[in-house]
């Protein structure tokens, strides 16, 4: 007896299953695209445009609108619109009533009649865009309602249940992205407010003093800050080169973005390329994940390259390319990354001499040296010392619970006679020790530490050749951070042997101070 098999039924079931699997796969792909967009887009208009592009592959629509709840006024405010008619930006900032899709925190689908009857305040805009049906989903994170994501179509009944389910899933991802974007924006606004308060109340405060030399430096800062020029800050160790770099950033249009610092001398040469430009996963043995470099972090802001004279020769061409083209590739990567970064570099080295010795590229030197600023050593602006001492005392008084009100004039006179090989940083350390020692109203400066480093008063015209020689050696020692030997040491700079320099230091009574 033959048995008939309904192959048609089995075939139809298989096709239905295949369609269902294909649909689910497309939905998962859509959600993955939206997830990637929500991670990479922090600006709300960019986020909504990306969501609309991804959504278009699964659901036909003509507009996507993001509105956030304004608790002060109790209504929704349009923050971003992606419209195929190209005029969606006209409605950004528009306000309308909270709506049924937000207050009860559930999704609503409205047709043309519902839109006209329930939302008369948006009727004119709907007529202009010819939207005849919308799906509005609430954006909720935890128990907090943020607003709505509304998808519009020019045809009636455009959102069947399966389309609504997709929009709801997308809405959940968008809600997290919006919450993150709002939080980041709030932090940025708070930071800008605090920074503006500091700049307004204390302009150039930490660069204390009013000497002619310092005023000339600050005038250069005011001149170059509003431009996009690369700046090279030159000066001995401890003169405040980083403060000058920050002042340039704070007085530029880039102050709304990040100031990023990299000390080229503090990072091993083998790691410096990864630190500056980042690396891809697997670029080297320990690269277990992708790393974003400092140039990407500083995009739109300022990158401060401290001790740029220590930059390895093999890394200098890549830095030159970024300066010229504003582009680079991560270590181990092939994708070219574009950035908009202003460079402020600093060094206590003689870069021109390094160029002559072929230890620094001449083309990179010329590119960095667009606008040089020389920060004078403290011994050349000793009239600023009283103001600096007062600043350090005030800054340390509260955390140390000290109530210092008097700085003896004799102490200030002794400070002005000191050679300051460690410059302002050394003065700050000395004042900190003095604050620790001071129990009463008077600052007790340990002047004994300065005894062997006194120099003639400026009014003393009988300054000896020995004093001049001593000052020159001290200056070079300060510039080389008290490194005596080696190709970058003070002996090479002075043109003598290391043993000769040590003998010269003993003859001139020069010993390395503890603060340097």
* pLDDT tens figures, 258-303: 899 999 988 888 889 988 998 887 777 776 677 888 998 899 999 9
Q: How many helices (H) and strands (E) does the chain have?
A: 18, 13
Q: For residues 469 and 409, state if they share a domain.
A: no
Between 463 and 62, residue with greater pLDDT: 62
Of 458, 486, 501, which one is at a domain's C-terminal end?
Answer: 458
> Can you tell me whether residue 76 is helix, strand or coil?
strand
Domain residues for 30?
Answer: 22-185
Q: Are 320 and 363 in contact (CB under 8 A)?
A: yes
Q: What's the pLDDT at 306?
A: 94
Residues 468 and 447 in one domain: no
Instruction: State the helix-helix crossing angle for 44-55 and 161-201, rounded to 10 degrees.
Output: 160
Note whether residue 44 is domain-resident.
Answer: yes
**Co-location of 382 and 497 in the same domain:** no
pLDDT attached to residue 245: 94
What are the backbone dihedrals phi and psi of residue 493, each rounded to the nearest 5 degrees, phi first?
-60, -35
- Does 42 share its domain with 166? yes
Is residue 192 in a domain? no
Of 185, 200, 222, at which residue does a domain stop?
185
Domain-located, residue 100? yes
Residue 451 has pLDDT above 70, yes or no: no
Q: Let me know whether 349 and 421 are in one domain.
A: no
Instruction: Say whether pLDDT at 224 is over 50.
Output: yes
Distance in angstroms (rounded) separating the CA atoms of residues 98 and 116? 16
Decide: helix, strand or coil at residue 282. Answer: coil
pLDDT at 6 over 70: no
The verdict on 320 and 270 lying in the same domain is: yes
The structure's pTM equals: 0.54
> pLDDT tier at 476 (50, 70, 90 boundaries)?
confident
């Amino acid at each position: 007896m033959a048995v008939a098999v309904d192959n048609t039924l089995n075939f139809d079931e298989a096709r239905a299953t295949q369609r269902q699997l294909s649909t689910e796969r497309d939905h998962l792909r859509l959600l993955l695209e939206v997830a990637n967009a929500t991670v990479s887009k922090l600006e709300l208009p960019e986020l909504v445009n990306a969501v609309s592009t991804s959504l278009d592959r699964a659901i036909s629509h003509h507009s996507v609108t993001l509105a956030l709840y304004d608790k002060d006024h109790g209504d929704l405010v349009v923050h971003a619109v992606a419209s195929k008619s190209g005029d969606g930006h006209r409605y950004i900032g528009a306000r309308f009533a909270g709506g049924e899709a937000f207050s009860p925190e559930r999704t609503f689908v409205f047709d043309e009649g519902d839109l006209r009857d329930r939302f008369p305040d948006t009727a004119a805009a709907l007529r202009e865009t010819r939207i005849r049906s919308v799906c509005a989903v609430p954006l909720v994170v935890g128990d907090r309602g943020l607003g709505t994501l509304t998808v519009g179509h020019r045809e009636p009944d455009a959102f069947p249940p399966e389309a609504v389910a997709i929009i709801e899933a997308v809405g959940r991802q968008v809600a997290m992205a919006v919450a993150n974007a709002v939080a980041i924006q709030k932090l940025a606004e708070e930071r800008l407010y605090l920074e503006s308060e500091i700049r307004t109340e204390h302009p150039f405060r930490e660069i204390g003093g009013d000497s002619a030399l310092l005023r000339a430096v600050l005038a250069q800062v005011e001149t170059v800050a509003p431009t996009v020029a690369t700046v090279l800050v030159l000066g001995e160790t401890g003169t405040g080169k980083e403060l000058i770099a920050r002042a340039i950033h704070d007085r530029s249009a880039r102050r709304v973005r990040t100031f990023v610092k990299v000390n080229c001398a503090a990072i091993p040469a083998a790691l410096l390329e990864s630190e500056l430009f980042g690396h891809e996963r697997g670029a080297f043995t320990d690269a277990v994940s992708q790393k974003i470099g400092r140039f990407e972090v500083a995009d739109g802001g300022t990158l401060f390259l401290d001790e740029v004279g220590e930059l390895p020769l093999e890394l200098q061409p890549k830095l030159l390319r970024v300066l010229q083209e504003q582009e680079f590739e991560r270590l181990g990567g092939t994708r070219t990354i574009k950035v908009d970064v202003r460079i402020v570099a600093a060094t206590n080295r003689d870069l021109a001499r390094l160029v002559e010795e072929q230890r620094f590229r001449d083309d990179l030197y010329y590119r960095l040296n667009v606008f040089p600023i020389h920060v004078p050593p403290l011994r050349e602006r000793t009239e600023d010392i009283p103001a600096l001492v007062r600043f350090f005392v005030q800054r340390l008084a509260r955390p140390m619970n000290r109530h210092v009100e008097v700085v003896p004039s004799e102490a200030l006179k002794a400070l002005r006679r000191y050679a300051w090989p460690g410059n302002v940083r050394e003065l700050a350390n000395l004042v900190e020790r003095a604050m620790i020692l001071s129990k009463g109203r008077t600052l007790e400066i340990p002047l004994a530490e300065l005894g062997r480093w006194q120099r003639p008063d400026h009014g003393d015209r009988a300054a000896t050749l020995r004093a001049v020689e001593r000052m020159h050696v001290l200056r070079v020692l300060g510039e080389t951070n008290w490194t005596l030997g080696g190709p970058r040491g003070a002996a090479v700079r002075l043109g003598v042997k290391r043993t000769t320099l040590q003998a010269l230091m003993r003859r001139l009574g020069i010993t390395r101070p503890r603060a340097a």
